Amino acid sequence: MLNGKKIVLGVTGSIAAYKSALLVRLLVKQGAEVRVVMTESAAQFITPLTLSVLSKNTVYTSYQAENSTWNNHVELGLWGDLMLIAPATANTISKMAYGLCDNFLMACYLSAKCPVVFAPAMDRDMFLHPSTQKNIATLEKYSNHLIAPEDGALASGLEGPGRMAEPEHIIKFINDFFLPNQSKLKNKTILINAGPTQEAIDPVRYLSNHSTGKMGYALAEVAAQRGAKVILVSGPTHLTTNNSNIEVIPVVSANEMANACFNHFEKADISILSAAVADYAPLEVSSQKIKKQESPLTIELKKNIDIASELGKRKKKNQLLIGFALETEQELTNAKIKIQQKNLDFIVLNSLNDGGAGFGTDTNKITILQHDGRQKVFELKSKLAVAHDILNEIELLLP
């Protein structure tokens, strides 16, 4: 994911510096070129040699370091696509906030033209101190990006916030950071529907299904991370999002979901229909609670509108329409019929016969069937990873 990206990694004097080794390894493994700058106190926690071997580059500790000339800090600052300071101690954060330039790392920081990301590491009370919080707020005002420390056991024996984010989380943050610039979804408008619908029987009862909306919400999050503007038409779920690139339109019934989708379809470059829309609704909704009776109760159902089919009719040449198919038997045959009937560009097939796939799980196992018959079978993965696979497939269809 980080192929060819140039990362300047600043390491400062915290016990978390030992994690820099893993951080460098993960960055290099993802294809990044890493140049490490360490403060003198960082070098007491982990040797420059270790980080030099892992990064396959000279590690800079001071102006006097081997191969280092007086203007290296300017060159490094200009060379990087991103400067990552991890761990960032309270001391370094304070220097960054005030522009204090008393070491090589600070000279690089102050001359960096690239985005700067910092991952604080310190004791709980140092992190919570108003002065540190003020410095962090100052850095955020300078458009430096904070990777918040995590809660847990600290080297001091205290518990609380202050642990540097785990290297895997830092790598994910950096991946997400670069994603929008590389993605073809940047600035695209994506309409996603998600979750179940509820079809009222009377004021207290409804017909619905087991959908939780997790797949649709994961798609919305990943699309937004890639720089898309997402309109998420959501049936009733317990899920929330605070991503400012996602506009949530809450709906209850299939009819409401249909109207919301129709209202936003025209401006959508891509529509992904992951909702489990109820196919039927009670013909009549009782205005009063239906009372128990001795004889069996029959509720007559009427067919709901098929949102995907209707959007398939309205679809223009420059729009993509992606559907889902949940099947319990003859999966491929049924899914192929749905692609044609609904005029989809591709369909994401879930089979309830696959363990780990389906409602409420955090994982999913999908097959993507293209309109032209090509198919790709994917492994069981987290719904977030599946969302990446689906959006990658969409990107392949974009010019």
List residues with catalytic annotation. 209
Show the CA angle centred on residue 230, arms to residues 225 and 235, nearest 5°: 120
Q: By CB under 6 A, is residue 358 in contact with ligand CTP?
A: no
Q: Measure the CA–CA gap between 239 and 295, rounded to whole angstroms.
A: 39
- What's the closest the beta carbon of residue 229 comes to ligand CTP, in angstroms? 21
Q: By CB under 6 A, is residue 202 in contact with ligand CTP?
A: no
Please report, as residue ranges, which positions from 334 to 353 form the binding site for ligand CTP (by CB under 6 A): 338, 342
- What's the closest the beta carbon of residue 378 comes to ligand CTP, in angstroms? 17
Nearer to ligand CTP, 90 or 276 (CB): 276
Nearer to ligand CTP, 75 or 306 (CB): 306
User: Site map for ligand CTP, 6-45, x if CB under 6 A?
Assistant: ----------------------------------------
Q: By CB under 6 A, is residue 324 in contact with ligand CTP?
A: yes
- What's the closest the beta carbon of residue 193 comes to ligand CTP, in angstroms? 7
Q: By CB under 6 A, is residue 214 in contact with ligand CTP?
A: no
- What's the closest the beta carbon of residue 216 comes to ligand CTP, in angstroms? 9
- What's the one-letter identity of residue 221? E
CA-atom Rg of the chain in angstroms: 26
Q: Measure the CA–CA gap between 167 and 175, rounded to whole angstroms.
A: 12
Stretches 78-86, 89-97, 211-219, 304-312: which one binds ligand CTP (CB under 6 A)?
A: 304-312
Stretches 7-15, 53-61, 299-307, 351-359: which one binds ligand CTP (CB under 6 A)?
A: 299-307
Strand pairing category for 205-207 and 199-202: antiparallel
Q: By CB under 6 A, is residue 326 in contact with ligand CTP?
A: yes
- What's the closest the beta carbon of residue 351 comes to ligand CTP, in angstroms? 11
Nearer to ligand CTP, 154 or 307 (CB): 307
- What's the closest the beta carbon of residue 290 comes to ligand CTP, in angstroms? 25
User: Site map for ligand CTP, 105-144, x if CB under 6 A?
Assistant: ----------------------------------------
Q: Measure the CA–CA gap between 111 and 120, rounded to whole angstroms.
A: 21
Selected from 306, 332, 385, 392, the binder of ligand CTP by CB under 6 A is 306
CB count in 10 Å sphere of residue 174: 25
Cβ atoms of 31 and 1 within 8 Å: the answer is yes
Please report, as residue ranges, which positions from 250 to 289 form the binding site for ligand CTP (by CB under 6 A): 254, 273, 275, 277, 279
Nearer to ligand CTP, 36 or 281 (CB): 281
Rounded to a whole number of angstroms, the distance between the first and last alpha carbons of the chain is 21
Selected from 38, 228, 308, 357, the binder of ligand CTP by CB under 6 A is 308
User: Site map for ligand CTP, 73-112, x if CB under 6 A?
Assistant: ----------------------------------------
Nearer to ligand CTP, 72 or 351 (CB): 351
Q: By CB under 6 A, is residue 354 in contact with ligand CTP?
A: no
The residues that touch ligand CTP, with contacts defined as CB under 6 A, are 254, 273, 275, 277, 279, 304, 306-308, 323-326, 338, 342
